[in-house]
């Protein structure tokens, strides 16, 4: 098992309790299995041989077919099923679901194995503890509920937050009045029936002053409305919903409000011409209820949309969409990789962080128009940048986190101060662009320069990357007596520009080191007559 993912010490005891409600011949077979820790479900249907289901495959147990006596034995041990045809075993996490015939008699039972697993949110723990609302998507059996259970424990025990679980059918915290200890200090509000979930969601906010509310399976318009109400009151939401991808949610009329909702807008002639679109377009209706969306693809693999509003906007405009894949490695570390989709239906393309030439190839005009650049403004008016981006439809996205930024833009005044933030950007290898003034004109020149939307208007005197400023300073020093100066590490795009500048100034230059610390050394040309 992954070093960072561990089951609780009570799992064996809980598992024995589930095994105990099964027919004897199924018990015998299960005890012979070597991969019990991977068991997902046990299916007993009348007149069929029992099935055991694992995450990636299903096995038929070669024993006698299930009889009514087998089903009645399990029903007697489990007890009554609720109106949603579910039951449980007190103080365990197992879910037992019944299939009934037209007469209301049980003709099939699914025994879902419930496990408390520590470390399942390691891959997204930074998102969960950020205070922003997070929506989890994934196919049945992928581990959404298990993740929610761990979210409750981490936020209540580690982050010391007031956490309320709205527990429909007792899936998250187990059956019975006393919740399973896997949820930590989080409190649990039971929901008598799935139709009442939205009422309990609102009740939780009004009566118990939570900082976080956790909900499993938002599936109705009433629940979506309740979620928006909760988010508007400043409470963090962590929930799951039906669907595998963000686009699934956008196309679902019931749940689209979770990501802002979709409305049809009729544009004026001038605006439609500027956008180069039809007059009737789709736009996001409101801020998303959930700021972050996570697509769970496997136990240790997720796709993260860290800015749902921006992603939805770009999808509706058929523009490039950026996301992030995260993988939990066997040693417990998390590997992150940026993914860029050129259109909704295109195949994802992996792009290395900070490799500008891959993002804007000189001979690929189509790539220049579709690929997006994440820009972090430092000392530059964000409102003006956003205005320029919207008016020009440039493939540029404003971010606030240095880790997700491809480029940092600042002003000359801030650059002179040599602040720690800019020093950190240099250490991380982030290209820093310097504007002379914080004006709309120069911001426009900057956006056009990095987006490559108008090469003729790219005035190098208006906006210069820090890499080129460093090269110019080095050339100036060499001109006035210095023999050689070693520049800071840069990616290949800026190293090439530095080499060209040195050559134009009548100097020599070489590159040394290996990526990502490869750098340029500029030297004066030796005088043969000296």
The answer to whether 148 touches 214, Cβ cutoff 8 Å, is yes
pLDDT at 527: 52
**CATH code at position 13:** 3.30.450.90
The pTM for the full model equals 0.60
Range of the domain at 518: 467-523
Confidence of residue 331 (pLDDT cuts 50, 70, 90): confident
In terms of domains, do 490 and 454 share one? no
| Whether pLDDT at 359 is above 70 | no
- The total of structural domains in the chain comes to 4
Q: Which of 64-68, 167-171, 524-528 is the least confident region?
A: 524-528
Please tell me the predicted confidence (pLDDT) of residue 361.
32
Chain mean pLDDT for the chain? 82
Say if residues 209 and 162 touch (Cβ distance below 8 Å): yes
Averaged pLDDT for residues 201-225: 94
Are 474 and 452 in a shared domain? no
Residue 249 shares a structural domain with residue 233: yes
For residue 12, the tally of other CB atoms under 10 A from its CB is 10
383 shares its domain with 270? no
In a domain? residue 273: yes
**Residues 244 and 288 placed together within one structural domain of the fold:** yes
- Please say which residue of 459, 480, 512 terminates a domain: 459
Say if residue 144 is in the same domain as residue 99: no
- The CATH number of whichever domain residue 407 belongs to comes to 3.40.50.2300
Considering the domain boundaries, does residue 366 fall inside one? no
DSSP 302-352: EEEES-HHHHHHHHHTT--EEEEEEEE-TTS-EEEEEEEESSTTSPPEE--
One domain for residues 249 and 341: yes
Same structural domain, 85 and 144: no
In this predicted model, what pLDDT tens digit does every residue of 462-480 receive, in sequence order?
445 667 778 888 887 888 7
pLDDT of 124 reads 94
Q: What whole-number percentage of the chain has pLDDT above 90? A: 34
Phi, psi of 63 (to 5 degrees): -135, 180
Is residue 254 domain-shared with residue 314, that is, in the same domain? yes
Q: How many CB atoms lie within 10 A of CB 149?
A: 31
pLDDT tens digits, one per residue of 120-148:
889 999 999 999 999 999 988 788 988 99
With H, G, I as helix, E, B as strand and everything else as coil, classify residue 279: coil
Nearest to 241 by CA among 286, 284, 184, 290: 290
């Amino acid at each position: 098992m992954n070093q960072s993912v561990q089951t609780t010490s009570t799992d064996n005891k809980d598992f024995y309790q589930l095994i105990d409600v099964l027919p004897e011949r199924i018990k015998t077979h299960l005890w012979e299995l070597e991969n019990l820790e991977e068991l997902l479900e046990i299916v007993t249907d009348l007149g069929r041989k029992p099935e055991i289901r694992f995450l990636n495959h299903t096995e038929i147990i070669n024993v006698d077919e299930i009889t009514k006596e087998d089903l009645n034995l399990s029903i007697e041990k489990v007890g009554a099923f609720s109106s949603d045809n579910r039951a449980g075993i007190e103080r365990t996490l197992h879910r037992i679901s019944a299939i009934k015939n037209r007469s209301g008699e049980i003709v099939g039972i699914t025994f879902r194995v419930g496990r408390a697993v520590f470390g399942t949110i390691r891959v997204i723990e930074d998102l969960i503890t950020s205070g922003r609302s997070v929506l989890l998507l994934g196919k049945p059996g992928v581990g959404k509920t298990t993740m929610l259970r761990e979210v409750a424990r981490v936020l209540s025990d580690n982050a010391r937050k007031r956490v309320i679980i709205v527990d429909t059918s007792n899936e998250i915290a187990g059956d019975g009045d006393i919740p399973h200890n896997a949820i930590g200090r989080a409190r649990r509000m039971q929901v008598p029936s799935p139709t009442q979930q939205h009422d309990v969601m609102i009740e939780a906010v009004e009566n118990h002053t939570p900082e976080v509310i956790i909900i499993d399976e938002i599936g109705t318009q009433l629940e979506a409305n309740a979620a928006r109400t909760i988010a508007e009151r400043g409470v963090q939401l962590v929930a799951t919903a039906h669907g595998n991808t963000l686009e699934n949610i956008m196309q679902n009329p019931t749940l689209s409000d979770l990501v802002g909702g979709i409305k049809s807008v009729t544009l004026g002639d001038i605006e439609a011409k500027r956008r180069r679109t039809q007059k009737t377009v789709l736009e996001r209706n409101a801020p998303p209820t959930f700021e972050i969306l996570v697509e769970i693809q496997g136990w240790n693999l997720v796709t993260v949309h860290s800015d749902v509003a921006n992603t939805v906007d770009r999808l509706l405009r058929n523009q490039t969409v950026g996301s992030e894949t995260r993988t939990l490695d066997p040693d417990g570390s998390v590997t992150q990789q940026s993914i860029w989709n050129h259109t909704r239906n295109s195949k994802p393309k992996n792009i290395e962080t900070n490799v500008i030439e891959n993002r804007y190839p000189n001979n690929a005009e189509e790539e220049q128009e579709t690929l997006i650049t994440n820009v972090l403004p430092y000392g530059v008016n964000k409102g003006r940048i956003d205005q320029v981006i919207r008016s020009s439809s440039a493939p540029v996205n404003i971010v606030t986190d240095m880790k997700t930024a491809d480029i940092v833009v600042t002003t000359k005044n801030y650059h002179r101060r040599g602040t720690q933030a800019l020093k950190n950007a240099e250490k991380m290898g982030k290209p820093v662009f310097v504007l002379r003034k914080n004006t709309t004109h120069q911001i426009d020149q900057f956006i056009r320069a990095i987006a490559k939307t108008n090469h003729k208007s790219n005035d190098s005197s208006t906006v210069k990357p820090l890499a080129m400023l460093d090269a110019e300073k080095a050339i100036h020093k060499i001109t006035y007596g210095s023999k050689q100066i070693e520049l800071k590490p840069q990616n290949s795009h800026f190293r090439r520009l530095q080499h060209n500048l040195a050559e134009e100034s009548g100097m020599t230059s070489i590159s040394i080191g290996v990526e990502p610390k490869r750098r340029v050394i500029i030297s004066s040309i030796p005088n043969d007559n000296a």
